[in-house]
Amino acid sequence: MTNGAAGHNTAGPVHQAWPGLIAAYRDRLPVEDTWTPITLLEGGTPLIHAKRLSEQTGCTVHLKVEGLNPTGSFKDRGMTMAVTDAIARGQQAVLCASTGNTSASAAAYAAKAGITCAVLIPQGKIAMGKLAQAVMHGAKIIQVEGNFDDCLELARKLTADYPTIALVNSVNPVRIEGQKTAAFEIIDVLGTAPDVHSLPVGNAGNITAYWRGYREYHRDGLSDRLPRMLGTQAAGAAPLVSGHPVSNPETIATAIRIGSPASWNSAVEAQEQSDGRFLAATDDEILAAYRLVAAAEGVFVEPASAASIAGLLKSIDDGWVKPGSTVVCTVTGNGLKDPDTALKGMPEVTPIPVDPAAVVAKLGLG
């Protein structure tokens, strides 16, 4: 029933608005009752059935689309926790080492909290869409003569020496706590865990977090099974596949160009405990999956995100994933983070006359 004078619905809201992940899962997170969450209403991202990928693989495939978080990546799940924790502890600034997505997220949440954010970035090879976000949110950008691993080591030393600065990389344990909520959301939708969960692996915090979330729900009787964890690294940055650090990692997938993952041990634990696997995908395989998920499913992701799709396709081919399995692929970041990759090889666009027949001919429909 509506109020005719005001034109407002007086029957109450049609649905309950998403409150942000701390409010949604507060009883499962290390947050004190007196703390005020620093939130941009992160989490609650869609789990989209991938019809054509399902047909191609013979599985039931769902995409957990983390690029629809506020800053366009899964990093927001951990960052709401890290910045909330920093404010509660009276810290005055946040610091991170980043290849892009962490910097965007840290800068946004620091801006929301009204504190300083500093970002250490490796020299060159950063997706500019991500750096632009950090700049717009007011972060102080510091370029380091080295790779991501050098930046992270410097960040660790700085925050150890200056305790008023919070380190908000995934080595911060509350980051993992926030990220585990994605596993909760998947089970909340599906009713149980998938048979296989596929995701990209760079610094390895995300595979650690998902496994923690799945185990917690299973422990509490909210899922009757646990998934096998499938972690895919870029072939040029695959330390977990080779079993040793990579000193000069190289891949087009900048978000996972990491040679020595900070969460190495916990990622291996997730793989071993779940009877999972790590594998490597070439840049060509990642780019093929990147184009496939955009063209076939309407989901535009950044290249690193597509590693989860590439890993699934390789695992179908070698028989590790069986037909009929239920599979969730996490696509970790939005394609708008790295538009340059999408535009490479784009055919030249030539003008046509202002004529419907010319449009029909161009479309090959005449």
pLDDT value for 135: 94
For residue 107, what are the domain limits?
Answer: 74-167
Q: Is residue 352 part of a domain?
A: no
Say if residue 135 is in the same domain as residue 224. no
Say if residue 244 is in the same domain as residue 259. yes
Average pLDDT over residues 7-20: 69
Say if residue 68 is in the same domain as residue 83. no
pLDDT class for 6, splitting at 50, 70, 90? very low
Report the chain's mean pLDDT, rounded to a whole number: 93
pLDDT class for 103, splitting at 50, 70, 90? very high
- CA 94, CA 80: separation in Å to the nearest integer? 12
- CA 3, CA 263: separation in Å to the nearest integer? 56
Question: Is 172 labelled a binding residue?
Answer: no
- CA 46, CA 186: separation in Å to the nearest integer? 9
CA-closest candidate to residue 205, choices 128, 270, 147, 149: 270
Q: Is residue 144 part of a domain?
A: yes
Q: Which amino acid is at 199?
A: L
Question: What's the domain count of the chain?
Answer: 2
Listed in sequence order, the residues at least 6 apart from 162 whose beta carbon sits closer than 8 Å to its beta carbon are: none
Q: Is residue 107 part of a domain?
A: yes
Question: Is 203 labelled a binding residue?
Answer: yes
Say if residue 89 is in the same domain as residue 198. no
Of the two residues 366 and 118, the one the predictor is more confident about is 118
Q: Above 70 in pLDDT, residue 11?
A: no
Q: Is residue 281 part of a domain?
A: yes
- CA 53, CA 62: separation in Å to the nearest integer? 9
- CA 329, CA 210: separation in Å to the nearest integer? 12
Say if residue 193 is in the same domain as residue 319. yes
Say if residue 184 is in the same domain as residue 292. yes
> DSSP class of residue 166?
E
Say if residue 185 is in the same domain as residue 295. yes
Residue 37 CB neighbours (<10 A): 18
CB contact burial 305-337 (16+ within 10 A = b; e otherwise):
bbbbbbbbbbbbeeebbeeebbbbbbbbbbbeb
Say if residue 263 is in the same domain as residue 321. yes
Q: Above 60 in pLDDT, residue 10?
A: no
Structure-block tokens of residue 199: 């995701």
**Contact by Cβ (8 Å): 236, 283:** yes
Residue 81 sits at φ, ψ, to 5 deg, of: -70, -45
Question: Is 166 labelled a binding residue?
Answer: no
Say if residue 124 is in the same domain as residue 248. no
Say if residue 122 is in the same domain as residue 86. yes
- CA 328, CA 320: separation in Å to the nearest integer? 15
Cα 277 to the chain's mean position, in Å? 19
Average pLDDT over residues 78-93: 98
pLDDT value for 300: 98
Say if residue 140 is in the same domain as residue 243. no
pLDDT value for 16: 86
Q: What is the CATH number of the domain that holds 331?
A: 3.40.50.1100
**Contact by Cβ (8 Å): 82, 49:** no
Q: Above 50 in pLDDT, residue 5?
A: no
> DSSP class of residue 70?
T
Say if residue 159 is in the same domain as residue 195. no
